[in-house]
Structure 1
């Protein structure tokens, strides 16, 4: 049975981008990147907000003909389907990608229930809608050892989720990982 997953890399104080919109401090080192690649292998579809989709556009044409970590991730990304939720984009031209105007959590929940592979919801705004709707099954939280003091929060305010810790890890560079199941 497929799961709806939310994976995010954030500052220690919980932001995916700082107040200026920058997130270069969140770039994973080789150890973290390889770990993320392994997590993403089972994802068959990515549900993305517009901003995340634009950030990830590089991976649509990134080289796949090598053995490096980046080549591996490009293969993972390019092999998956993508659904982009945006009211401002007029079209998407990347492969295996469809455009939806509005996020319907009921339809997304049905999609996940019928999926053969895991589905990932990405971008804090879209993920917040899925979390509020109660359709996210697991959260994978990477925390980078930096405090940015404000910006775009990785998790929404105004909700409560009871979670069960499934896995955790500390990486050599100080980044931590914790994976939680949402208790229903």
Structure 2
């Protein structure tokens, strides 16, 4: 059985993108990116909403020859994983190892977790909110960036309560703090 892990880089006030839709403030330094790579290595399947899939699709085609090792490493990790995209508007997948589901089905995700031999990652705050409300998220990994953006898309939904246990934390240069919680 695999764990469903929700991981994201956020502002200190809990946003994944600011009010204008930008997340340029969230670009991880090499040290953080290497740490992210190690967290992502055990992920066998990514579950994405359409917007997150469109952002992450960059990793499919990026030319890594002139990129730092952490970029090449993450591209390899991402390309090796399966992807499930939840979208009612996407015509079809544009990346390898990808399938499109028209609607989020909590029971189907539960079956995926039960059958998985590796962990699953969920990306995109709207899709993650549905999984959180359904009680499917086992672990929360958040990278707090030292910026307050004052609005945008929230990392966590407002209308749910989940009791958590802190299982890891780490501080990085430039003030980024990683926290990992397990759902109780």
| TM-score between both structures, scaled by the size of structure 1 | 0.97
1:5 aligned residue = 5
Q: RMSD across aligned C-alpha pairs, in angstroms?
A: 1.1
Alignment partner of 1:22 is 2:55: no
Deviation at 1:55, TM superposition (A): 0.4
CA distance in 1, matches of 2:129, 2:20: 21
Query: Following TM superposition, by how much is the alpha carbon of 1:93 offset from its aligned partner in structure 2, in angstroms?
Result: 2.3
Are the counterparts in 2 of residues 63 and 74 from structure 1 also a CA contact under 8 Å? Answer: no
1:61: how far off?
A: 1.6
Point out where structure 1 has 5 or more consecutive residues left out of the alignment: none
Correspondence list, 1:85-164, <5 A: 85-164=86-165
Q: Which digits, 9 at most, give the CA deviation of each residue in 1:20-42, with x for residues without a partner? A: 00000001110110000000000
Q: Distance in 1 between matches of 2:131 and 2:64?
A: 31
Question: Is 1:62 aligned to 2:31, yes or no?
Answer: no
| Structure 1 partner of 2:75 | 74
Aligned pairs for 1:42-53 within 5 A: 42-53=42-53
CA contact (8 A) 1:16 1:154 kept: yes
Q: Which consecutive unaligned segments of at least 5 residues does structure 2 have?
A: none
Quote the Cα distance in structure 2 between the aligned partners of 1:64 and 1:43. Answer: 21
Specify the SS of the correspondent of 1:156.
coil
TM-score between the two structures when normalised by the length of structure 2: 0.97
Shift in Å at residue 63 of structure 1?
A: 3.5
Runs of 4+ aligned residues of structure 1 deviating over 4 Å after TM superposition are 64-67
Alignment match, 2:176: 175
Q: Deviations over 1:130-164 (max 9, x none)?
A: 00000110000110000000000000001111000
State the alpha-carbon separation in 1 of the partners of residues 132 and 12 from structure 2. Answer: 20
Partners in 2 of 1:93 and 1:178 — Cα distance? 33
1:102, 1:167 → 2: CA distance? 33
